[in-house]
Amino acid sequence: MEIVSENRSFGGVQGVYKHSSNTCGCEMTFAVYLPPQAQEAPVPLLWYLSGLTCNHENAMTKGGFQEHAARHGLAVVFPDTSPRGAGVADDEAYDLGQGAGFYVNATRDPWRQNFRMYDYILTELRAEVLENLPVQDRHGITGHSMGGHGAITMAVRNHGMFESLSAFAPIANPTRSDWGRKQLSAYLGDDESAWSQHDSALLLDEFGWKGDLLVDQGASDQFLDLLKPEVLADSMARRRQPGQVRIHKGYDHSYFFVNSFAGDHVAWHAERLN
């Protein structure tokens, strides 16, 4: 693990690192914020998965998580959203290819050689962070948009790996959305039965989540028809899943929305991780 940069922030350290990924077959970059408490003892870890077109840097610089993480004693890891590099498959569209990994393991060419973000987050990067940084093997997960989709699907499918779960404006029902059907068919093929394990609403409806779930959504989000928060809320109601889906008047899909509620989410995870 190579240090790209480390900067002091709210008494802790905001670091950016890179490593050679066997899972993705390329060099991967990620960021981790370590709160001041990590200087004394290992701290719990909150995973933040970013959305379409983003990389490790967007939420690190725009999300406002550092101040809240320092207050509550949580480390926050910001992975990239896809493999990258000259030898990695890409597409001219913003919503497919590099920057749009969708947190799945691709099974179709030309994507399957590198696009294995599901295994990368859950296995390889998790081990890398635990081995090299002063963090506990105690994890929460959250994310925005495509990252909210990734956070919910990973947690629901792997209850034992996470203790807390939340999401900002997640792509809630990708099997019935243009933000989902395009990517799932490209990465996984045309057999829609394989898509359901990557659909938050369907997974919650079938399996539920072991704890309570916090979802924040802007009422003025320009992508509401693609996100389908009402389908997620319906699934939670049918399952009688403990949790909250909060719709906020006037908020859109931007990082101003994420920044506005980052403190609520960090506190939510800290309460359940500590």
pLDDT tens track for 56-74: 999 999 999 999 999 999 9
Q: Which domains does the chain have, with CATH numbers?
A: 2-271 (3.40.50.1820)
145 in active site: yes
The residue annotated as part of the active site, out of 145, 164, 200, 235, is: 145
pLDDT score of 206: 94
Reported pTM: 0.97
The stretch 231-245 carries a mean pLDDT of 96
pLDDT score of 163: 98
- The predicted-structure confidence for 206-230, as pLDDT tens digits, reads as follows 999 999 999 999 999 999 999 999 9
pLDDT score of 93: 95
The residue annotated as part of the active site, out of 9, 149, 221, 265, is: 221
- The predicted-structure confidence for 143-154, as pLDDT tens digits, reads as follows 999 999 999 999
The residue annotated as part of the active site, out of 72, 198, 253, 265, is: 253
68 in active site: no
Task: Tell me whether the omega of the peptide bond preceding residue 110 falls within 30 degrees of 0, making it cis.
Answer: yes
- The predicted-structure confidence for 7-62, as pLDDT tens digits, reads as follows 999 999 999 999 999 999 999 999 999 999 999 999 999 999 999 999 999 999 99
Q: How much is the mean pLDDT over the chain?
A: 97
The stretch 81-91 carries a mean pLDDT of 96
pLDDT score of 109: 96
pLDDT score of 137: 97
Instruction: Output 12-15 pairs: Cβ under 8 A, ≥24 positions apart.
Output: 12/36, 12/37, 12/38, 12/66, 12/69, 12/70, 14/60, 14/66
119 in active site: no
